[in-house]
Amino acid sequence: GDSVTQMEGPVTLSEEAFLTINCTYTATGYPSLFWYVQYPGEGLQLLLKATKADDKGSNKGFEATYRKETTSFHLEKGSVQVSDSAVYFCALRYLLNTDKLIFGTGTRLQVFP
Amino acid sequence: DAGVIQSPRHEVTEMGQEVTLRCKPISGHNSLFWYRQTMMRGLELLIYFNNNVPIDDSGMPEDRFSAKMPNASFSTLKIQPSEPRDSAVYFCASSSPAGAFFGQGTRLTVV
C-alpha cells in the first residue's frame, strides 16, 4: 500500500546550520507531495508542496524537490533558526478519486542558539 | 476565512463517559479528515469523508468510535464509552486541491 517514510529524529542543529530531513514514499499512482510543520501546542500547517515529478516546492527558506526516480521528497533549508524548531511531517495525497492524505511519522527538529 | 474550527479545545472526562468532538471545515472544501495524535503512535488517520460521504474508516480503532458528517459544514467524532487509552489530541482537517488545512485540535484526557 501507499506509505511515507521519514528519518527518525530528533534532528539537533545549531543556528545557521544546513538542514536536511529525508522523506521517501511508496505509491501505486502519481501523488502530490507535501511537507507540514507542527509547532508546539498547535495543529499542522502546510509548509510546501509539489504536484508532479521534478517540481520544487518552497516556502520560508525551505525547499523540497519531487524526485520520482528515487521516490523522495527531502526537505532542506540552508540556514536554520531557533524559531524553526518544530515537528515536520512529509505526506502524500491523491487528488483524484479518493483524496486520501497519508503522513509519515514526523521528524522533530531542535535548533539551538 | 476562520480556518478549520474544532471544539472543544480541551476535554477531560471519566472513563465510560461519551465524548463528542466537533469540527467545522473550511467552506468549499469537499474532503474532511479525522486524525489522532499520540506520542507512541504518531499521527493516525481515523476516517475521511468526501462530499459528506465516509470513504475510508479503516483507521477507526474499534466500534466505540463513530463519525458523522450530516452536512458540508459540520462533522462529529464520538467515542462511547471512552477509555483512558483514548487520551490523545484529535485533529480535524479539510482539504481543497490547494492542500489540507488542520484545526487546532482537541486534547482529550480520559481519567
pLDDT along chain B (111 residues), means of 10: 91 97 95 92 90 91 94 97 96 87 95 97
In this predicted structure, what is the pLDDT of residue A98?
61
- Chain B residues within an 8 Å CB radius of A89: 43
For residue A29, what pLDDT is reported?
79
- Residue B93 and residue A101: Cβ atoms within 8 Å? yes
At B62 the pLDDT is: 86
**pLDDT for the residue B1:** 64
Q: Do the Cβ atoms of B56 and A49 come within 8 Å?
A: no
Give the pLDDT score at A80: 97
| CA–CA dist A70, A25 (Å, integer) | 9
A52 in B contact zone (CB under 8 Å): no
Q: Among A44, A49, A102, whose Cβ lies nearest the Cβ of B102?
A: A44
Q: Is B86 helix (H, G, I), strand (E, B) or coil?
A: helix
C-alpha cell at B64: 466505540
* Mean pLDDT of the region A79-107: 87
Residue A97 is predicted with a pLDDT of 57
Query: d(Cα B99, Cα A14) in Å, to the nearest integer?
Result: 31
Contact A35, A47 (CB under 8 A): yes
CA distance B21 to chain A (A): 15
Q: Give the mean pLDDT of A102-110.
A: 92
